[in-house]
Amino acid sequence: MAQPQQQMMEMPDLSNAIVAQDEMGRPFIIVKDQSNKKRQHGLEAKKSHILAARSVASIIKTSLGPRGLDKILISPDGEITITNDGATILSQMELDNQIAKLLVQLSKSQDDEIGDGTTGVVVIASALLDQALELIDKGIHPIKIANGFDEAAKLAVSHLESVTEDITAIEFEKDSKLLNDYLFKAAKTSLGSKIVSKVHDKFAQMAVDSILSVMDKERKDVDFDLIKLQTRVGGSLEDSSLIKGVLLDKEFSHPQMPSKVLPREGQKSVKLAILTCPFEPPKPKTKHKLDISSVEEYKKLQTYEQDKFKEMIQYVKDSGADVVICQWGFDDEANHLLLQNELPAVRWVGGQELEHIAISTNGRIVPRFQDLSPDKLGECSSIYELEFGTTKDRMLVIEQPEESKTVTCFIRGSNKMIIDEAQRALHDSLCVVRNLIKDSRIVYGGGAAEVTMSLAVSEEADKQRGIHQYAFKAFANALDTVPMTLAENSGLDPIETLSTLKSKQLKENIPVFGVDCLGKGSNDMKELFVVDPFISKKQQIMLATQLCRMILKIDNVIISGKDEY
């Protein structure tokens, strides 16, 4: 009788095996199971990357343009953010895919460098990858496509540069009103797609005024540390205002101190003493113990403390200060003495705020009472308390209308989410104005710049030989995605809108025709005054092309899973 054939067991992979011993000293082998390792390669890997990028872009696409929609993002701890700012949406989304994370970094780098155009850059990058996928399916090598895209991007940017308009032709000093008007319109374009678009005139004016107040005219640069964005829930967006000076979330230390301090008679300004030393009797820095054994000794200590307080206040009065700003707190005795000597005081002011006050008032931060002197005092035109509604909340304004070196944008709104979004919107428009001060060339928005570049690239495509021709055409098609998305979000027919724009730009040969998103009845972006800084558009094209090249070069993805025993 034939014996049943023994089934051979498959031998496990012993390359990673470990020899161990049990408690009796008997050896046994532990074999790692590596079945969790995943690998994608070749075309399959590229397709999965491009699909990941496409899915991220499809979420963000609908928030492009003035008719773009907002997204609600709920964090793991239940915090809600409502926004249509591309960088904010992507940074708060939890993404597993590594390629999707690259798109997040792409929009973050656009946000860090330029501050605006974070949605557009992701839309362009995704469109380039979509076009590349079609070419890969035709059998064209990915590096050839990437090289073609690089050439096309250079051509697109140089063509766009040739059709920019420079607003520094308008001299700063000669015609400042015209320049302000340009900056105002650019800031307004940036705010058009945000939640504050109902009051964008006010916010755009705030952005322009604050940048022009603190900008360095010689270097043509702006230090954003000098512009503080302060928020307070309550009121409406219309109540937001620009304060030339510093706004403190503090009040005077004693309720009987005056709520408004004006210059004394014969003086032009209010004098401020900015102190980082506490109103307290001196103590040894090391651990110490004080033994008091009699009433006389206690009285002596009390008298010493009182004398010290009086001495400190005398130093402040001798310097000629009207108001004391102190980094530390002080007890009731010091507070009472300050009130008696008619010295309004503010306590517990943070280090950063102290620096702001010192910059704004031209004062010096003084670490010791003995160092106080009239030349170290800050000067401002007035200090007053702002009161809000029925909550008895107060804030202090240190105002410096003439030649203020720092400004505060005070944003009000009905709830925290609106205020946060308004703050992000104002930051974007501040960045746009700053970019125009730095590089004053502008291009026209509403997709006009993209259509111009697309036409130039597709015209060049016909002159190319070989494979590059395909890459150039694909690049031109990718650029068309921006005007098409704008048209789609505005409820227009995307293909019809795009073909109308292209024919208009070709016939009249001027790069000002864009998508009429708000239904104003004109496609002329110069007439509607929809402008973007040139450096923002240039950065978008460059960053998107570089990211596309990087993704196309990846052909192997090895995901090492956790080893299981």
Write the DSSP assignment of 446-510 as a string of letters: TTHHHHHHHHHHHHHHTT--TTHHHHHHHHHHHHTHHHHHHHHHTTS-HHHHHHHHHHHHHHH--
- CA–CA separation, 16 and 92 (whole Å): 40
118 has catalytic annotation:
yes
Q: Are 119 and 68 in contact (CB under 8 A)?
A: yes
What residues form DSSP beta bridges with 261?
383
The answer to whether residue 85 is catalytic is yes
Q: Of residues 83, 88, 119, 481, which has the active-site annotation?
A: 119
Catalytic residue among 88, 118, 452, 497: 118
118-137 helix and 42-61 helix, angle to the nearest 10 degrees: 150
For 70-74, which contacts have Cβ atoms below 8 Å and span 24 or more sequence positions?
Answer: 70/195, 70/421
Q: Are 308 and 282 in contact (CB under 8 A)?
A: yes
If you search the block for the tokens 């460098």, which residue do you land on? 113
Specify whether 332 is catalytic: no
Catalytic residue check, 439? no
Q: Is 112 helix (H, G, I), strand (E, B) or coil?
A: helix
Residue type (1 letter), 356: H
List all residues 6 or more positions away from 209 whose beta carbon is below 8 Å from its beta carbon. 242, 407
Distance CA 447, CA 529 (A): 13
Which tokens hold the place of 446? 């509403």
Residue 60's Cβ-side half-sphere holds a number of Cα atoms within 13 Å equal to 30
The residues pairing with 272 across neighbouring beta strands, listed in sequence order, are 323, 378
Structure tokens at 210: 């604050």
- In DSSP notation, 54-89 reads HHHHHHHHTT-STTPPPEEEE-TT--EEEE--HHHH
Do residues 221 and 431 touch, judged by C-beta distance below 8 A?
no
Two tokens, residue 35: 């079945």
Per the residue annotation, which of 209, 428, 516, 524 is the catalytic one?
428
The active-site residue, picked from 70, 81, 85, 209, is 85
Residues noted as catalytic: 85, 118-119, 428
